[in-house]
Structure 1
Amino acid sequence: MRAETRVCPAVLVVEDEPLIRMEAIDMMEEAGFRVFDAGSADEAVALMERHEEIGILFTDVDMPGAMNGLGLAAHVRDHWPQVFIVIASGVINIDTTALPEGCSVYPKPYPTNQILAELKRVACVGE
């Protein structure tokens, strides 16, 4: 009897605060995900365009640049509809009507176990 192997897409972590970004990267890597990272939405879009293996976007809301995390989430949903989107924010009251359909939202500090369980459940497939 062969054990089931889980195949998970790469995760793109988008966070402008370097220490918080490193924490999120470590969380994802320890869970077995391949991780790309960006400090802005502009950098994230460039990475999405170059790496089709990215299947999960994990983004903060407040970021400098042309768009914030909500704008990035909407852009990703429009251009890469298959990508699973997780938004993490210290903002207490996010306008959920501004969120693309199918997004998950978590508060900071990250509830690590909940996030990883959801990512594995929705984004990783058995082989």
Structure 2
Amino acid sequence: MQSDQPRPAVLVIEDEVFARIVIADFLADRHLEVLEAENADKALQILEQRQDVKVIFTDINMPGKLNGIELARIVRTRWPRVHVLVTTGAPQKERIPAGSHFVSKPYDQAQLADRIHLLAKAD
């Protein structure tokens, strides 16, 4: 039975193509609308165009002018209703912004999907 409710939109920001595809496909299979970006600049472009993004899931280490922590700070300031979930497998050197969440790599995909669903429903 199809629901009339729109699927919550989550933006996955990950520079490693294989990792991004795997988690994006997994989340899409769990009834989330998944948008993908390979870096913070692309993520910001998407956020400027889409008002339906409920959650961003970003890696900390990625190429470009901004890392995931800097992206999280911008999102928390410009889009305070968007929930931020940050991940890394490296030792965390910077503090994540207040109101953001952290999950360490490697993460359990099912637990991550559950957490994203909870964040997408929160306001």
Pair 1:107-2:104 in alignment: yes
1:105 partner SS: strand
Q: Is the 8 A contact 1:7 1:124 kept in 2?
A: no
* Unaligned 5+ runs, structure 2: none
Pair 1:28-2:53 in alignment: no
Q: Is the 8 A contact 2:10 2:35 kept in 1?
A: yes
Count of residue pairs the alignment pairs up? 120
CA distance in 2, matches of 1:80, 1:47: 12
Q: Aligned-pair distance for 1:64?
A: 0.7
Moved beyond 2 Å, runs of 4+: 4-9, 92-95
Q: 1:119 aligns with which of 96, 111, 116?
A: 116
What is the root-mean-square deviation of aligned Cα atoms in Å?
1.9
- TM-score (norm. length: structure 1): 0.85
2:77 partner SS: helix
Structure showing greater radius of gyration is 1
Q: Aligned-pair distance for 1:110?
A: 2.1
Q: Aligned-pair distance for 1:106?
A: 1.1
Aligned match of 1:84: 83
Aligned match of 2:57: 58
1:116 partner SS: helix
Moved more, 6-15 or 105-114: 6-15
- TM-score (norm. length: structure 2): 0.88
Aligned match of 1:10: 9
Alpha-carbon distance change, 107 to 101 in structure 1, aligned in 2, over 3 angstroms = same
* Unaligned 5+ runs, structure 1: none
Q: What do residues 53-83 of structure 1 show as CA deviations (whole Å, max 9, x unaligned)?
A: 1111000000111100000000100100000
In percent, how many aligned pairs have the same letter?
32
With a CA cutoff of 8 Å and minimum separation of 6, indicate the structure with the bigger relative contact order. Answer: 1
